[in-house]
Amino acid sequence: MLILGIDPGYGITGFGLIDAQRGVSRLLRCGAITTPAGAEFPARLEMIFNDMTQLLQMTKPDAVAIEELFFGHNVTTAIGVAQSRGVILLAVRQAGIPIFEYKPMQVKQAVVGYGNATKHQVMEMTKRLLHLEKSPKPDDAADAVAIALCHARSSTSLLAQLQRS
């Protein structure tokens, strides 16, 4: 199963494509969609949508796993990320690919085994689970790979298999 993990943002949107087969996952590619800080916000959203559409056409994933929005202290930033996430979801929906959403705590639990794990712990376990020499860069791509791993581990769990049957 090809899983595309997405860490949404409007400056940097991380992505990570993994191949998950029978409990073994391997990283195929990762990176980031970036938009220039000086561009008008609607233009940035259009760039994200177009780049995401192209990425989906190139990678042809079986599923897309995306992080749910987490509202921290900066509501203005969260609104921008929410709008970016919206155009990403639209691109995935138009491509006809199933979407799976995970909270940050679910990603940490699936990858590290502890829902309050630090970012460093998630990156280290991602590196170990995929047998990588170093963590994916930029950090947004590493987060997206962890989200893809979360889906790989969640979708193959016994509970998920029971719910499908």
Which among 7, 46, 51, 143 is annotated as catalytic? 7
Sheet of strand 99-102, all strands in order from the earlier edge strand to the far edge: 24-34, 12-21, 2-7, 63-67, 99-102
Whose CA is closest to 100, among 155, 145, 55, 137? Answer: 155
Q: Which positions ≥6 away from 157 have C-beta within 8 Å?
A: none
The tokens describing 92, both together, are 């995935």
101 annotated active-site: no
CA separation for the pair 147, 153 (Å, rounded): 10
133 annotated active-site: no
From its phi and psi, is residue 67 left (phi > 0), alpha (psi between -120 and 50) or beta? beta
Q: Is the Cβ–Cβ distance between 6 and 67 less than 8 Å? A: yes
67 annotated active-site: yes
Q: Is the Cβ–Cβ distance between 112 and 121 less than 8 Å? A: yes
Which among 19, 46, 62, 67 is annotated as catalytic? 67
Q: Which residues are catalytic?
A: 7, 67, 140
